[in-house]
């Protein structure tokens, strides 16, 4: 697939782009390296002023930016506008807190003075996905730029206009030219960028194969990486749960972003005592969702981002059905319209050996598992290669403590859906990746943690 804007609601190719040549990549890397030498010396107060200006631009033009996101990857327009606002939030958060997060940390030793100093590394490569085309980038860029690094963005090939306008926002905010640059390149051009000695580290959000490939290249070069990969997050509902709240939140947790989120609730693990009622209410709410043009404010569920994503999702569903899983609702792509539309789907009663055991369903498909008790719920939740997030519903404090302690995930949310928040670290374990974004931990990933000892 080339670098192009293809409207997923219609299949129309709107605009195509030529990948950068080797000469253009070299020129851009030279600019990035040159600007880093001066940018790293800029006061934190100046960086914060520019980042706050970026926040103002994001809020000012949120509708325009939302329309670009929706056109390129199909998320409902109301979600796209909310994404632009969330990007403004992360910019303001790091503008306010970066100086505190990166301040020298004294340590009592045998020296006259000893402390830890945080210093920027240089050029950081960000390989970002299409599903949250602004948020994924800004949650990298805000801390990286505040730390004094410079960024280069290799965005997904189906959101080139998002990638270009993000560079425009950062430039308009006042950051020096070259501090953040978009590289319109194909996946086959990433290796040469990673191995360039001027590039000091890389972060990737995306699929397992993409993450493994980048980490292998970076490992050969002894370069730091942060990976946020796939997830098949459990959503556990115990007998003591507030059932109406659990069901209502379940709809958002599964359908947000047309179901295309790494941290979406994908496996609904419900104890037998409330499973029938949970299923009945979930079906009712799924049936009420409006599928259609994502540019319409009233649309709840738009198209999947690409035909291949639609095909891959449907293939997983069909394998489950062929192996004997039960279809409660949905179960096949919509053929009554153009575009990449898949209906709200609920599957259950999975025999051993279906994709529900170990695959990520990236779209509006809920997998419903019935279990006898909390022990079985935790075992089922952990019996998967992923460990990104987990949501669990209970009003019993002892049960909540067990869930917090025993669930194998980078985040556990009790009585709420899993979400990213600038104030909290974000990332996974197992095959969901390593390292953290956001919070104090996120800004400290791409710095030299320098020990200083003076006598």
pLDDT digits (tens, 9 = 90+) for 150-170: 999 999 999 999 999 999 999
Dist CA 323 CA 364 (whole Å): 20
% residues pLDDT > 90 (the chain):
99
Q: Looking at the predicted structure, is the pLDDT value of residue 136 above 90?
A: yes
pLDDT in tens, 29-39: 999 999 999 99
Among 228, 359, 360, 408, which one carries the catalytic annotation?
228
Q: What's the pLDDT band for 258 if we cut at 50, 70, 90?
A: very high
Residue pLDDT, tens place only, 3-50: 999 999 999 999 999 999 999 999 999 999 999 999 999 999 999 999
CATH topology for 3-229+432-454 is Aldehyde Dehydrogenase; Chain A, domain 1 (3.40.605)
Catalytic position from the list 83, 262, 320, 408: 262
Nearest residue to 451 via CA among 13, 109, 73, 15: 109
Burial degree of 353 (CB within 10 A; 0-12, 13-18, 19+): exposed
Whether residue 228 lies in the annotated active site: yes
**What whole-number distance in Å separates Cα of residue 238 and Cα of residue 116?**
45
Looking at residue 98, what is its pLDDT? 98
Strand extents, DSSP E, 303-446: 326-329, 345-348, 365-371, 386-387, 389-393, 411-414, 429-430, 433-434
What SS3 state is found at 21? coil
Q: Which own/partner pairs from 245-251 qualify as long-range (CB within 8 Å, at least 24 positions apart)? A: 245/393, 245/415, 246/278, 246/393, 246/415, 247/278, 247/281, 247/282, 247/285, 248/285, 249/391, 249/416, 249/417, 250/282, 250/285, 250/366, 251/282, 251/285, 251/286, 251/289
How far apart are the C-alpha atoms of 134 and 92, rounded to whole Å?
15
pLDDT recorded at residue 85: 98
| Residue 359 pLDDT greater than 70, yes or no | yes
Mean pLDDT of the chain: 98
The ranges assigned to domains in the chain are 3-229+432-454, 233-421
Taking residue 18's Cβ as centre, other Cβ atoms within 10 Å add up to 9
Res. 213: pLDDT tops 90: yes
pLDDT value at 1 more than 90? no
pLDDT digits (tens, 9 = 90+) for 59-83: 999 999 999 999 999 999 999 999 9
Judged by DSSP in three states, 365 sits in: strand
At 199 the pLDDT is 98
Question: Around Cβ 324, how many Cβ atoms within 10 Å?
Answer: 12
Assess if CATH 3.40.309.10 describes domain 233-421. yes
Phi, psi (degrees; rounded to nearest 5) at 52? -65, -35
Q: Which residue has the tokens 């370069």?
A: 223
Mean pLDDT for 121-133 is: 98
The answer to whether 3-229+432-454 and 233-421 have equal CATH topology is no
Its pTM stands at 0.98
């Amino acid at each position: 697939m080339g670098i192009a804007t293809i409207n997923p609601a219609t299949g129309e190719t709107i605009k195509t782009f030529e990948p950068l040549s080797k000469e253009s990549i070299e020129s851009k890397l030279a600019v990035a390296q040159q600007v880093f030498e001066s940018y790293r010396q800029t006061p934190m107060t100046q960086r914060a002023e520019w980042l706050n200006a970026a926040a103002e631009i994001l809020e000012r033009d949120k509708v325009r930016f939302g329309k670009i996101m929706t056109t390129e990857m199909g998320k409902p327009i109301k979600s796209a506008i909310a994404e632009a606002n969330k990007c403004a939030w992360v910019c303001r958060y790091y503008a306010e807190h970066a100086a505190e997060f990166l301040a020298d940390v004294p340590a009592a030793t045998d020296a006259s003075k000893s402390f830890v100093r945080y210093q920027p590394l240089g050029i950081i490569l960000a390989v970002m996905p299409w599903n949250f085309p602004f948020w994924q980038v800004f949650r990298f860029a805000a801390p990286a730029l505040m730390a004094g690094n410079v960024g280069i963005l290799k965005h997904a090939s189906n959101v080139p206009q998002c990638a270009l306008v993000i560079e425009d926002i950062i430039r308009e905010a006042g950051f020096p030219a070259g501090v953040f640059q978009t590289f319109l390149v194909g996946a086959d051009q990433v290796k040469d960028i990673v191995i360039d000695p001027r590039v000091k580290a890389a972060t990737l959000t995306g699929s397992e194969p993409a993450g493994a490939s980048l980490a292998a290249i970076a490992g050969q070069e002894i370069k730091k990486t942060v990976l946020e990969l796939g997830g098949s997050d459990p959503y556990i509902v115990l007998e003591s749960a507030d059932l109406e709240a659990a069901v209502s939140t379940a709809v958002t947790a599964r359908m947000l972003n047309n179901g295309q989120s790494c941290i979406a609730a994908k496996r609904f693990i419900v104890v037998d005592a409330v499973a029938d009622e949970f299923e009945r209410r979930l079906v009712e709410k799924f049936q009420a969702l409006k599928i259609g043009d994502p540019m319409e404010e009233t649309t709840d569920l738009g198209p999947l981002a690409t035909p291949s994503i639609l095909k891959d999702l449907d293939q997983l569903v069909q394998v489950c059905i062929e192996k004997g899983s039960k279809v409660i609702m949905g179960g096949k792509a919509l053929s009554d319209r153009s575009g990449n539309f898949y209906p709200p789907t609920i599957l259950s009663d999975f025999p051993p050996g279906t994709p529900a055991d170990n695959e990520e369903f990236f779209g509006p498909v809920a997998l419903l598992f019935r279990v006898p008790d909390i022990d079985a719920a935790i075992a089922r939740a952990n019996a998967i290669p992923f460990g990104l997030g987990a949501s669990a519903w209970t009003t019993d404090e002892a049960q909540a403590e067990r869930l917090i302690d025993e669930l194998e995930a980078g985040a556990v949310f009790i009585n709420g859906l899993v979400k990213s928040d600038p104030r909290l670290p974000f990332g996974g374990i197992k095959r969901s990746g390593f390292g953290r974004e956001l919070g104090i931990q996120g800004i400290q990933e791409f710095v030299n943690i320098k020990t200083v000892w003076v006598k």
